[in-house]
Amino acid sequence: MSKSTKYVSNPADENGIVSWTEEENKIWQDLIERQLEVIKGRACDEFMHGLELLDLPHNRVPQLHEINQVLGEHTGWQVEQVPSLINFDAFFTLLANKKFPVATFIRSRDDFDYLQEPDIFHEIFGHCPLLTNPAFAHFTHTYGKLGLAASKEDRAYLARLYWFTVEFGLLNTAEGTRIYGGGILSSPGETVYALESDNVIRQTMNPLEALRTPYRIDIMQPVYFTLNRFEQLFELADMDIMALVNTAKKLGLHAPKFAPKNQLAS
């Protein structure tokens, strides 16, 4: 949700169908086929199971009603078409109503490997597989309800917990560390980096620590938090998260593990 973007959502017709150009469909195909290879052995089983349920098309951008049918059957979640940028009130209102916002634009080839704005590939490929999973669905719904009721200051803390779970979460499994965060799994570079880089900290998920850890949206993450079981998302959701936010506010933020933006070479 940056302040400006060159991208605009493609409109839907009266039946909710979005028209995509041949080039946009081709970009989807190139993105999904490349990423399906990269996530093999790297995405967690829960994510892979969700992908199977969604059975996403390869040769065209999926329509939202196709996603809704699968999500509705499994968790009651839906996706909702939004303009490219929405404010936090709109975002939390949607999540609190089990609606996941999806902007109907897709990245251009210039931004093929990375873009800050969440495009339809990020939202659908990155997030929708796990919206079929009850623990993830419950966590995301709870986050929406808390965010809707929270002050602007508290939302900034909540956003960190979301960042280190829904977007950039890792999971310990018997086979090794796996990824469940959609921000990682929709990025080929970060899918490899998050698991294999020696220059990152992978720490056991502790919600108070996550609430206190600053992040930047425009770099590969220097810190990831790892769950020990996927069902831990249920337990996290049912903790008194706002009490943890209050504790985090008293203790303050940790020093960032990255350079401030204006001190980096561009």
Residues near Fe ion (CB under 5 A) are: 118
**Shortest Å, Cβ 94 to Fe ion:** 13
Who's near 4: CB < 8 A, 6+ residues apart?
none
**Shortest Å, Cβ 97 to Fe ion:** 18
Strand stretches in 2-143, DSSP E: 78-82, 99-103
Let me know if 3 is exposed, middle or buried by CB neighbors in 10 A (0-12, 13-18, 19+): exposed
DSSP state of 238: T
**Shortest Å, Cβ 167 to Fe ion:** 5
Please say which residue, 120 or 211, places its beta carbon nearer to Fe ion: 120
Helix (H, G, I), strand (E, B) or coil at 250: helix
Please say which residue, 169 or 207, places its beta carbon nearer to Fe ion: 169
Please say which residue, 122 or 178, places its beta carbon nearer to Fe ion: 122
Please say which residue, 50 or 118, places its beta carbon nearer to Fe ion: 118
Please say which residue, 42 or 127, places its beta carbon nearer to Fe ion: 127
The 10 Å Cβ neighbour count of residue 35 is 19
Helix (H, G, I), strand (E, B) or coil at 31: helix
**Shortest Å, Cβ 192 to Fe ion:** 19
**Shortest Å, Cβ 15 to Fe ion:** 27
Nearest Cα residue to 143 out of 91, 188, 103: 91
